[in-house]
Structure 1
Amino acid sequence: MAERRRIIEGTWNCTSCGAKNIPARHKNCPSCNNPRELTGKESEFDFGDVDAAGRSTREGVTDEQALDLAGAGEDWFCAYCGASNRGDVTACRQCSAERGSDAKAAPIADLSPQPPPKPAPKPGNWKKVALIVAGILGSCCFGTCAIGYWGNMTHDLRGEVTATNWRRAVVQERFLPESRTGWRDQLSSTAPRMPVDGAGEVPGVTNIRDCVSRQRGTRKVADGTERVCRTKTRKVACGTEEKCRRRDKGNGFAEEVCHDETKYCNESYEDCQTETRYRNEPVFSQQCTYDTYAWRQVDQREMKGTDDPPRWPELTAGTNERVRREESYRVSVRYEDDGVKEHVVEPQREDEFVVWKKGQGVTLTVTNLGKVEKAVRR
């Protein structure tokens, strides 16, 4: 598309007398006649604001003199007197010194559109933090909150064993016949085998009988088709919009280039497709009763104790029987941490339990949040 160009004249402020908004065509201040210099703010031009399309809100330059200045190239500053000069002259207008390699170039401003600034994050409200450490350690570091770091720090406390408890049980089980139900396709006739010394048994499946049809589940089956429409959104061309950009020419003027771009808008539409409709259909199978064997509890003996050594109750296995043992141990430790507290150690085996004695000293490693990490006998 065709481009539209125009020249925008900037303004500068004199740092000698304070005059403001001096048109760029003036190399000297109209108020005090001091030349515009490279130092300070005099080399910075204000080209005005732009609208949403990037088009300058200032009028473009039309007179020939200003257009001639704009086309003269980038300004340069004399190395001897500091005066600014047109880019197409070779001698300083102020002191007549020849332009050499030590002449300073005019700064070029970046006039490309800038994205809007992101809103500043809201400050955290530390008053909501319940623990005092938040006020001591302050904010979070590398995404890990200081309070979490403090809470995982540990310290050692002294405690004492106040009680030891044990429980042991012997469960007697017998391999007994029973009737069960199952799906016919999963049942295969198998002769049972009785256990020897409580092991090696086979439950078996015998006397499969009384089979009836029952619902086993459901399955999806096609039940025709239906037209389903969903509302979707797509981008479509909806005319044109002007987009402009400006380029600093380095001499107090900027060139603005505008062109028309295709504008896109969101459009809602119906996306309709033919889809298969499904329904749930019950699935039936034959459920049967059959005979088998299973272990059943017939007796249990239990013993408990505190400071005495753990013992097993007396219970033996007979024909087609077995015994199963259960055991649990607890050690209670009392310690002080902002008040009297209790921690329970649960040994898994007898040899781990018997080394704990009532009145024994214990060293506990505790986090700042009160969690006991470990307890070691002293």
Structure 2
Amino acid sequence: MAKRTRIIEGTWNCTSCDTKAIAARHKRCPRCNNPRELTGQESDFDFGEVDAATGKSRREGVTDASALELANAGEDWFCAFCGAATRGDQARCKHCGAERTDDAKVAPRQAFSEPPPPPPPPARKRPMLWLALGAVFLCCFGSSVFGVWAGRTHEYAGEVVGTAWKRAVVQERFTPVSKTGWQDELRAVAPRMPVNGTGELAGVAHIRDCVSRQRGTRRVADGTERVCRTKTRKVACGTEEKCRRKDRGNGFVEETCEDVTKYCRESYEDCQNETRYRQEPVYARQCTYDTYEWKSVDRREASGADDAPRWPDLAVGNADRLRREEAYTVRLRYENDGVQEHVLEPKGEREFLGWKKGQSASLTVTNLGQVEKVLPR
């Protein structure tokens, strides 16, 4: 597509007399006659606003021959002796007459690769920005800081104020029972009786009374159906003007504009045939059969505090077996912003017997009050 080029003239501010918006074509201030020098306000040109959507300058382009000649004269240079600005095609300083030397400087050029950012929000909205930043900080860093604090531990001296134990023995007998199962999973196996409570085999015998029952469901195809979904896509929808600027280093910029394809989002229906499914029941034959399982026939318990644990007495026959259950607790007290109590649960008799009432202990406690470790003293 055809490109359109024009020259835009910038303005500068005099730091000597504070005159504003001096046209770039003037190398001297029209008011105080001081030359433009390599300072922030005098070497930085203002080229005006641009359209945020197209990047096109809102200023009119230069059309007079004298300004176009200056724009095409090359980048300005600043005299190494007096610091004054001189047009690029001149070999001597316009202000002091000194020749251009290798140490003559040029002003940095502005980059216009992207459209300027939108103006900043008004001052009254800044408190909301700080609130948002605070929320992000708390979300990203607050949890980790809290985690470090919560995980910090302290050592406290404690004392065992009591111990307790509870034991039980359960007598179990290998007893005949009837159960149901799926016919394809049942295989006749002769049972074997236990000897001294071990070596048993439950077995499967007398499979009978088989009936058809629903075992589950399965997913089966049931034809097709037309399914439509709304989607979006990018399509060409005409053209739009886009512009870019290039700093010539002498107070003028070259603006090039062209018409490019414009793209829009449009909604459309995406329809296709999809398989429809339904759930249908699955049937199988369920049967009753005879087998054996361990059943509880007697239970004896014993408990105590601050003494050695013992097992209750319970006699069993050759076909029976004993199952043992045990639980132990050790209560400790320590000072942490007041009297605190912690219950320790030893895993076995040996660990339990290592604790006695009145014994000293060391407790490792987090800032959240969680006891992480208990050691006897």
Q: TM-score, normalised by structure 2?
A: 0.93
**Deviation readout 1:210-263 (Å, 9 max, x if unpaired):** 001000001111111111111111111111111111111100001111111111
Shift of 1:363: 1.2
Q: 3-state SS of the aligned residue for 1:273?
A: strand
Quote the residue 2:36 is aligned against.
Answer: 36
- In structure 1, distance between residues paired with 2:135 and 2:51: 38
Q: How does 1:161-310 map to 2 (within 5 A)?
A: 161-310=160-309
Hey, what does 1:135 align to over in structure 2? none
CA distance in 2, matches of 1:365, 1:231: 60
Residues of 2 paired with 1:211 and 1:117: CA distance? 83
Alpha-carbon distance change, 51 to 105 in structure 1, aligned in 2, over 3 angstroms: same
1:62 alignment partner in structure 2 = 63
User: Structure 2: which amino acid aligns with 1:222?
Assistant: A
Task: Tell me, in whole angstroms, the C-alpha distance in 1 between the residues paired with 2:196 and 2:290.
Answer: 23
Does 317-326 or 203-212 show the bigger shift? 317-326
Match of 1:12 in 2: 12
Q: 1:8 to 1:155 in 2, by over 3 A?
A: same
Output the amino acid matched with 1:124: G
Q: CA deviation at 1:123?
A: 4.3
Residue 142 of structure 1, CA deviation: 6.3
The residue identity in structure 2 corresponding to 1:103 is: A
1:65-116 superposed Cα distances (whole Å, 9 cap, x missing partner): 0011001111111111111111111111112211111111122112232455
Contact persistence 1:139–1:146 (CA under 8 A): no
Does residue 361 of the first structure (1) align with residue 360 of the second (2)? yes
Amino acid at match of 1:223: D
**Cα offset, 1:182, TM superposition:** 0.3
Rounded Cα–Cα distance in structure 2 between residues aligned with 1:49 and 1:123: 30
Q: Sequence identity, in percent?
A: 67
2: CA distance between counterparts of 1:275 and 1:39? 71
Q: Which amino acid aligns with 1:60?
A: G
d(CA) in 2 for partners of 1:118, 1:319? 91
Q: Equivalent residues in 2 for 1:115-126 (5 A)?
A: 115=117, 120=129, 122-124=132-134
Q: Distance in 2 between matches of 1:54 and 1:143?
A: 42
In structure 2, what is the equivalent of residue 73 of structure 1?
74
Equivalent residue runs for 1:280-359 within 5 Å: 280-359=279-358
Matched residue SS, 2:68: helix
- Structure 1, unaligned stretches of length 5 or more? 127-137
Give the secondary-structure state (helix, strand or coil) at the position aligned to 2:91. Answer: coil
Distance 2:278 2:173 in 1: 48
Q: Deviations over 1:126-170 (max 9, x none)?
A: 9xxxxxxxxxxx979967632221111111112111110001111
- The residue aligned with 1:134 is none
Mapped partners of 1:226, 1:342: distance in 2? 67
Distance in 2 between the 1:15 and 1:374 partners? 73
Report how many residues are paired: 367
Deviations 1:255-302 (A, max 9, x none): 111111111111111111111111111100000000000000111111
2:94: which partner in 1? 93
For 1:324 and 1:336, the matched residues in 2 are separated by 41
Structure-1 separation of matches of 2:117 and 2:218: 56
Letter in 1 for 2:306: D
Matched AA of 1:3: K
Report the residue type matching 1:177 in the other structure: P
Residues 1:140 and 1:221: Cα distance change in structure 2 (over 3 Å): closer
CA distance in 2, matches of 1:115, 1:143: 32
Q: Residues of 2 paired with 1:141 and 1:233: CA distance?
A: 35
Instruction: After TM superposition, give the deviation of residue 117 of structure 1 in Å.
Output: 8.5
Correspondence for 1:51: 51
User: Could you tell me how far apart the structure 2 residues matched to 1:124 and 1:150 are?
Assistant: 20
Please give the alpha-carbon distance, in whole angstroms, between the structure 2 residues aligned to 1:82 and 1:270: 68
* Matched position secondary structure for 1:109: coil
The aligned residue for residue 130 of structure 1 is none
142-151 or 313-322: which moved more?
142-151
TM-score by length of 1: 0.93
Q: CA RMSD in A?
A: 1.9
Give the SS at the match of 2:30: coil
- The one-character-per-residue Cα deviations of 1:301-351 (angstroms, maximum 9, x if unpaired) are 110011111001111321311101111100001122122221011111111
Partner SS, residue 146 of structure 1: helix
CA–CA distance in structure 2, aligned partners of residues 206 and 373 of structure 1: 54
SS of 1:104 mapped into structure 2: coil
